[in-house]
Structure 1
Amino acid sequence: MASRHGFRALRNFGKFAGSCRALQPASTFSSLRQIAPSINRVAGSPFISQTGVRSFASGMFGTFAEDGKISPHGGKLVNTMVTDEKEKAALISSCKSTMELSDRNACDVELVCVGGFSPIDGFMSEGDYTSVVDNMRLENGLLFGIPVVLDTDDEAVAPGDKVLLTYKGQNLAVLTVDSKYSPNKPKEALGSYGTSSIEHPGVAMISMERGKYYLSGKVQGLEIPTRPFPCKTPEEVRAGLPSNTDVVAFQCRNPVHRAHYELFTRALFADNVGKGAVCLVHPTCGPTQDDDISGEVRYLTYVVLKEETNNPSIQWEYLPYSMHMAGPREAIQHMIIRKNYGCTHFIIGRDMAGSKSSVTSEDFYGAYDAQDLAKANAEELGMCTVPSLNVVFTQEEGYVTADYAKEKGFDVLKLSGTKFRKMLRGGDDIPEWFAFKSVVKVLRDAQK
C-alpha cells in the first residue's frame, strides 16, 4: 500500500514538475516541500528529503541558500568590509595616494564592498569591462548589466599601488590597483546605453564626468558612507526577509504616489507569486537625473508613507545606487542587485530606467524594451519578472486596470506629472486619489 501511494505521489510529482516551470523558485520550493511527505512513503523510505527538494528546485529554477533565501548572483555574497581596527590602520598606512570619490563613485564603492554587486569584489578589469559592454556578461560568463568602473585622470597611479578612497571626510576603502587602462568610451556608451548621443544623461556622464583612465582591482571597505538615510547591507536586508517565501522587489527613484502603491501591492497577487509573499520596496537614493528630487527628500516621503500605510506585507529599505538611465541594461543590473538583497521577483515597469533626449525629448528606449530583456534573462538569473499593471483611477470603482476601465466604459481621471508639480509649487490642493497627503506635505515642506 505504501508503495502504491508513493508511486501515485511520484506520478503527481511529475505532473507538478511539468507545470511549475512557469513558477518562481521560492513558491516552487514551498510546493515541492508540501508534496514531499507523500513521496517519502515510497517503499517506506525517505525518497526526497528537504535537502533533496531544495536540490531539485535549485536545478530547475536557480539555487537557494540553506537559510531558505535565494542565493546571491554567482552563488556567494561578497563582503570586503574590514572589521579589525589594526588591519584598517595598516591598510591606510600602506596607501601611496588618496582619491576623493564623487557621489556616484561612492555609491559604487559601497555596493562593491557590501555585496550589492556580487560576484564582483572590486572595479572591473579591462577584460570584464569589455565583456560586459559587448556581451552583457563578465568574462566568466555570468550576466552583468553595466560595467562597474573607477575613473581617474591621475597619471602617476600605477598597478600595484594602494589608493585610499575618501568621501566627504571619511576613509571609505582601499583599492589595490591591478591594472590601469584607457576605456573605449564611445563603444561603452553604445553598448551600455544603446546610443552614443551626448543627449543621453549616461553618455554625457561617461564623456564629461569620467576621467581618461579606468582602474581595476579589489576594494577593501573601511567605513560605510554617512548618509541622511539608512542603507542596510544585503546581509542585513536578507536577515529581515522571511525564509522560503517569495520576495517581490519594487524599484523606484521618485516619491511613491497612489498608482505606484496600487501597482506593487497588487503584484503580490500575480499568478507567478506565491501565497504569503512580501514586497520589498527598495528605492534608489543615490544620484539620478538633474531634475529628480533629492535622495534625502525622497527618503522622507518613504518614511511617512510607511507609517501611513502600515502594511505588514510591505518592507521598506533603501539602496545607495546611482542611476544610469540605461533602460533595458539597467533593468538587468537592478535584477542582479535585488537578487543579492534576497528578492525572487522583480516588478518591471513600462519604460523602466528610461531616458529622453535633452534636446528633442524623444525616448531613447521603447516602452517595453526593459520588460522584454528582463523576461529573456529571468530564467538564467533564477528570478521571475512581474510586469507592472497599467492601473488608472476611475470615478466608478477607484483604481482598476486600464483594460478593465475601457471594457466597462468608466470615467478615468488623469493628472500628469507636469501638472502635479505645477500644483505642488502653486500650493493647490492635490487630489487624494493621486497622491498621499503625507507625501505631499513632505514635498511642500522641502520647497520652503
Structure 2
Amino acid sequence: MLRQITQAALRPLLQQAAAPLAAATRTFSAAATNGDTDGTIERGPDGHILPHGNGGLVNLMADSAAAEAARQRCQYQLELTERQACDVELLTVGGFTPLDGFMNEDAYRSVVERMRLPSGLLFGLPVVMDTSNDAIKPGAKVLLTYKGQDVAVLDVESCWQPNKVVEASKCYGSTSLEHPAVSMIATERGRFYLGGKVTGFELPKRVFPCHTPEQVRSELPANTDVVAFQCRNPIHRAHYELFIRALDAPNVAKDGVVLVHPTCGPTQDDDIPGIVRYHTYEVLQKEVQNPRVRWAYLPYSMHMAGPREAIQHMIIRKNYGCTHFIIGRDMAGCKSSLTGEDFYGHYDAQDFAKAHARELGMKTVPSLNVVYTEEKGYVTADIAEAEGLHTKKLSGTKFRQMLRSGEHIPDWFSFSSVIEVLREHQQHQQQ
C-alpha cells in the first residue's frame, strides 16, 4: 500500500509502467451494459436545467468583511499549483455543485470505491486538497494563495494518508506511471489529503477569462436544449462540423444551441499552450459568428480518466446549464508513451456516459465520424463509403510539418484565423 511518495512506495507503480490494466477497462465497459437511456431534463423556474443534485448552485464566495475575518484566523498557508487553483475555483463558483469544499475522507473513499458521494449521488472523481505538511490537522484554517493572490480559506475537517495505488486503480483503471493522472497523484500530490469547507475570497487570475456557472447560465436561452462540446485543443473544420451537426441529433430541440466549453487548466505536456489555445478560440468566434454557438471557458484540469472523467465532465456541464453532452471516440483517453497502447477502449467513455445519463438527468449526443470529400464536402464516413466518395485526409503529423514549413493549409482542414494564430506561435518557438 502506497502511504507516502518514496522510491519504495513508487515501486508497485513503476513495475507496471508499460502495462495499462485491461481488466479495469473491461470493468468500465461492462458497466455500460446496465442501460443507455437518456435522462429526463429537470428544469428550474428560470427554464434552465437544475444543477447536479437538483438543488441550487453552490456559491462559496464571501463578502469582504467575512473574507477578512476568515483570513485573520488562518494558521497555515499553502501556495496552490495550477491544478489545485482550478479545483478551488470550481468549488467556489459551484462548478462542483453540490460540494461545498474539498471532500473529507469518507466522501473521498466513497467516490473512489463507488463513484458516489456518501449520499449516493453520482460523482466521477475525488476532489481533494493535498499537502506534505504533517503539522496541518483537523481544525486548522489554511490560507490558499495563488501567484500573489489570497483566493480562499480551507477549514480542515479531515486529514489522512491515502492509498494512492487503490485510488489509481479504481479511478483511472491503471497503476501505471505512464498514465498522466497516476503520475500526477504519485509524484505531484503531497503525502496527505485535506478535506473541509472552502470560503472563497477572489477567483484566480488567468489567461482564459472564465465565467461562473451563474454567468454562463444567464447568457444561455431558457427552456431549450444546450449541447456541451468539450475540447482541449484548437478547433478545426472537422470539430466544427461535428458540434454543428450535433444540433440535428434527434434528441436535441430544433432551437437548441451548442456551448463550446474548452478546458483551460493543465492538460498533457505535448498539448498546445493555454494562451495559444485561448487566442484560437477567440479568433474563431469572430470568424464564424454563429448565433447557435455559444462560448465559455472552463477552469478544469484534465485527468485523462476516460470513462470516469466523462461522468465528471457531464456533472460539471450540467452545473453550467447544459442538458446534453457530446461524447465520442476516446473521450479523455490517453496512451502509454512506452508501448503506444490505449488505456481505455475507443468507446468506453461513450458507453459509460450513456449508461449513467438517465441517473444524471442529461442526454448524450454521440459524435459523428465526419470526413471531407471532394464531391460533397463534409459528410459522415458511412455516407462517404456507401456512395464511393473520394475523401481527403491530413494527419496531425503532416499538419504540424506544414505549419513549420510555412506551407498552405487547405481551407477544408482548418479556419484561416486559427491557422494564423498557430503560425505565429510556431514562428515564436523557432526564434
TM-score, scaled relative to structure 1: 0.86
The alignment partner of 2:247 has SS state of helix
Structure 2 match to 1:88: 67
Alignment of 1:94-133 (within 5 A): 94-133=73-112
1:213 aligns with 2:175: no
1:133 aligned counterpart, secondary structure: helix
1:245 corresponds to 2:224: yes
2:209 is matched with: 230
Task: Confirm or deny that 1:363 pairs with 2:312.
Answer: no
Cα separation, 2, equivalents of 1:305 and 1:288: 21
AA in 1 matched with 2:61: M
Give, in angstroms, the shift of residue 86 of structure 1.
1.6
| Cα shift at 1:23 | 9.1
Say whether residues 1:167 and 2:141 are aligned partners: no
Matches within 5 A, 1:18-417: 61-75=40-54, 76-82=56-62, 84-417=63-396
Q: Which amino acid aligns with 1:117?
A: F
Q: Distance in 2 between matches of 1:427 and 1:98?
A: 48
Q: Write the distance in 1 (CA, Å) between the matches of 2:154 and 2:297.
A: 25
The answer to whether the 8 Å contact 2:238/2:371 transfers is yes
Does the CA-based 8 Å contact 1:133-1:192 persist in structure 2? yes
1:391-412: CA deviations, max 9, x gaps? 0000110000000000001111
Give, in whole Å, the separation in 1 of the partners of 2:347 and 2:143: 42
Residue by residue, what CA displacement relative to the aligned partner does 1:317-369 show, whole Å, maximum 9, x if unpaired?
A: 00000000001100000000000000000000110000000211211111100
Q: Is the 8 A contact 1:23 1:272 kept in 2?
A: no
Unaligned runs of 5+ residues in structure 1 are: 1-21, 26-60
SS at 1:266 equivalent: helix
Aligned residue for 2:143, secondary structure, equals strand
Counterpart of 1:18 in structure 2 is: none
Cα contact 2:38–2:354 (8 A) shared by 1: no
Structure 1 residues 250 and 374: alpha-carbon distance in aligned structure 2, compared to 1, 3 A threshold: same
Gapped regions of structure 2 (runs ≥ 5)? 1-35
Distance 2:96 2:65 in 1: 27
Letter in 2 for 1:173: A
Amino acid at match of 1:78: V
More helix as a share of residues = 1
Distance in 2 separating the partners of 1:273 and 1:93: 50
Q: CA deviation at 1:63?
A: 2.5
For the 8 Å contact 2:38–2:358, the answer to whether it is kept is no
- Counterpart for residue 41 of structure 1: none
Structure 2 Cα separation of the partners of residues 128 and 188 of structure 1? 13
Larger Rg: 1
Q: Secondary structure at the match of 2:162?
A: coil
Percentage identity across aligned positions? Answer: 65
AA in 2 matched with 1:442: V
8 A contact 1:62–1:381 mirrored in 2: no
After superposition, the Cα gap between the structure-2 partners of 1:414 and 1:67, relative to the gap in structure 1 and judged at 3 Å, is same
Return 292-301 or 389-398, whichever deviates more. Answer: 292-301
One-letter amino acid of the structure 1 residue matched with residue 58 of structure 2: V
Distance in 1 separating the partners of 2:402 and 2:108: 45
CA distance in 2, matches of 1:138, 1:151: 19
| C-alpha distance in structure 2 between counterparts of 1:373 and 1:203, whole Å | 21
In the TM superposition, residue 419 of structure 1 has moved relative to its aligned partner by: 1.4
Q: Which residue of 2 aligns with 1:430?
A: 409
Q: Which runs of 4+ in 1 moved over 4 A?
A: 22-25
CA-atom RMSD in angstroms: 1.3
- Residue identity in the other structure for 1:323: M
Structure 1 position 99, deviation (Å): 0.2
* Per-residue CA distance 1:44-81 (angstroms, 9 max, x = gap): xxxxxxxxxxxxxxxxx242111010000012211001
Please, which moves more after superposition, 232-241 or 354-363?
A: 354-363
Distance of aligned partners of 1:24 and 1:361 in 2 relative to their CA distance in 1, 3 Å threshold: closer
- CA distance in structure 2 between the aligned counterparts of 1:96 and 1:64, rounded to whole angstroms: 43
Q: 1:122 to 1:260 in 2, by over 3 A?
A: same
How many residues are paired up? 392
CA contact (8 A) 2:258 2:292 kept: yes
Give the 3-state SS of the residue equivalent to 2:372 in structure 1.
strand
Aligned AA (1:80): L
Shift of 1:24: 6.5
8 A Cα contact 1:267 1:386, kept in partner: yes
CA-CA distance at 1:302 after TM superposition: 0.4
Q: SS at 1:109's partner residue? A: helix
